[in-house]
C-alpha cells in the first residue's frame, strides 16, 4: 500500500468549473507538498503545507493533520490548468519524500 | 535565484556510451535528489545527497553513478545503460534537515537509450 493516496486518478472538467483533488497519507509528516507537472515538463512546487490553508491566485490548498488528509482546489478552472497534480509528503527532518501517483487533470474549453 | 538547472534537456545514447547529466542550484540548498520518471508515473527516488554525502541510494543499478563535488552541483554518470532506462531524469533540491524546506525541481533531462 502506498503511503500517499490521491483521488481521483483522472479528472476532466469544463472551463470555469471548481475542481477538488484529494490526498490521504498514512504516515506522520512534517510537511505536505502539492506539485504540478505539465505534459513532458518538469515539476513545479505549488504549495508546501504543515497546517491550515494556503491560497495562491485561483489555487487553494488545505490540510487536516488529525485526519491525515489534504485537498487542492482550483476555482474557475482554465485549460492552462491541465496538468498532473502530485501530492508529496515529507517525514520529519529527513530527506525522504513520498509521492502520490498523481491526478491527471484536463480542462476543456 | 530559485532555479534548479539541468543539462542536457534531451540525450540520446547507445548502450555502450558513457554520458553524464548535470544539475546545478544556487539557493544554498544542502540536499540534492535524483529521480527517475516514466511516462504517466510519479517520480521514483534514485539518490539523495545531504551535505555532499550520499545519504540515500534506492538500490539503483551501478550503471548509474552519482556524484556531488560541491554543494551547488550534482552529476549523474551513465554507463552501459539499457533501453528500459529511457525516462525523464529529474533533479531536485531542498534545505537539508529542515522539515519545512520546499522542494525545487529542475525541468529534467529526457534520456533515450537505443
* pLDDT tens digits, one per residue of A28-50: 888 999 999 998 778 999 999 99
Give the pLDDT of residue A1.
63
Q: How confident is the model at residue B93 (pLDDT cuts 50, 70, 90)?
A: very high
Cis upstream peptide for A8 (omega within 30°): yes
Q: Regarding beta strands B4-7 and B18-25, do their DSSP bridges make them parallel or antiparallel, or are they unpaired?
A: antiparallel
Whether the pLDDT of residue B114 is over 90: the answer is: yes
- Average pLDDT, stretch A80-95? 88
Give the pLDDT of residue B95.
84
Dump the DSSP string for B41-93: S--EEEEEEETTEEEEE-S--TTEEEEEEETTEEEEEEES--GGG-EEEEEEE
Residue in chain B closest to A32 (alpha carbons) equals: B100
Residue in chain B closest to A97 (alpha carbons) equals: B45
Backbone angles phi, psi at A80, to 5 degrees: -70, -10
CB pair distance less than 8 Å for A104 and B40: yes
Interface test with B, best of A4, A43, A101 (most B CBs within 10 A): A43
- Residue whose C-alpha is closest to residue A24's, from A6, A49, A9: A6
Whether the pLDDT of residue A81 is over 90: the answer is: yes
Give the pLDDT of residue A21.
98
Interval B9-49: pLDDT, tens: 999 999 989 999 999 999 999 999 999 999 888 899 999 99
What is the SS3 assignment for B8? coil
Considering only CB atoms, A45 lies closest to which of B42, B45, B103, namely: B103
Residue in chain B closest to A91 (alpha carbons) equals: B99
- Tell how far CA B32 is from the center of its chain: 8
Q: How far is A108 from chain B (nearest CA, A)?
A: 20
Q: How confident is the model at residue B1 (pLDDT cuts 50, 70, 90)?
A: low
Whether the pLDDT of residue A100 is over 90: the answer is: yes
Give the pLDDT of residue B100.
60
Do residues A101 and A10 lie in contact, with contact meaning Cβ atoms separated by under 8 Å? no
- Average pLDDT, stretch A50-66? 95
Cα separation, B58 vs A21, whole angstroms? 29
Cα separation, B36 vs B42, whole angstroms? 9
Whether the pLDDT of residue A18 is over 70: the answer is: yes
What is the SS3 assignment for A108? strand
- Residue A59 CB neighbour total at 10 angstroms: 18
CB pair distance less than 8 Å for B55 and A95: yes
Q: How far is B103 from chain A (nearest CA, A)?
A: 7
Of A3-17, A74-88, A91-105, B24-38, give the lowest mean pLDDT range.
A91-105
Considering only CB atoms, B107 lies closest to which of A35, A42, A93, namely: A42
Q: How far is CA A23 from CA A44, A86, B85, B101, B104, in A?
A: 18, 9, 29, 20, 20
Cis upstream peptide for B8 (omega within 30°): yes
Cα separation, A13 vs A107, whole angstroms? 5
Give the pLDDT of residue A92.
73
C-alpha cell at B8: 542536457
Give the pLDDT of residue A47.
94
CB pair distance less than 8 Å for B42 and A102: yes
DSSP at A45? E
Amino acid at each position: 500500500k502506498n503511503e500517499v493516496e490521491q483521488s481521483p486518478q483522472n479528472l476532466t472538467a469544463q472551463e470555469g468549473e471548481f475542481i477538488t483533488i484529494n490526498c490521504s497519507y498514512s504516515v506522520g509528516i512534517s510537511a505536505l507538498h502539492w506539485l504540478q507537472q505539465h505534459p513532458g515538463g518538469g515539476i513545479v512546487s505549488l504549495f508546501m503545507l504543515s497546517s491550515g490553508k494556503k491560497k495562491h491566485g485561483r489555487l487553494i490548498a488545505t490540510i487536516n493533520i488529525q485526519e491525515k488528509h489534504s485537498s487542492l482546489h482550483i476555482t474557475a478552472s482554465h485549460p492552462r490548468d491541465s496538468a498532473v497534480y502530485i501530492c508529496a509528503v515529507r517525514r520529519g527532518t529527513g530527506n525522504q519524500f513520498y509521492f502520490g501517483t498523481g491526478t491527471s487533470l484536463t480542462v476543456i474549453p | 535565484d530559485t532555479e534548479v538547472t539541468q543539462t542536457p534537456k534531451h540525450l540520446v545514447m547507445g548502450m555502450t556510451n558513457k554520458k553524464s547529466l548535470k544539475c546545478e542550484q544556487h539557493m544554498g540548498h544542502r540536499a540534492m535528489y535524483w529521480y527517475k520518471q516514466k511516462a504517466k508515473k510519479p517520480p521514483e527516488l534514485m539518490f539523495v545527497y545531504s551535505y555532499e554525502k550520499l545519504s540515500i541510494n534506492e538500490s539503483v543499478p551501478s550503471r548509474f553513478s552519482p556524484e556531488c563535488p560541491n554543494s551547488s552541483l550534482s552529476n549523474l554518470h551513465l554507463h552501459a545503460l539499457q533501453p528500459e532506462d529511457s525516462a525523464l531524469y529529474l533533479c531536485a533540491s531542498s534545505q537539508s534537515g529542515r522539515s519545512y524546506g520546499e522542494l525545487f525541481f529542475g525541468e529534467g533531462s529526457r534520456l533515450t537509450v537505443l
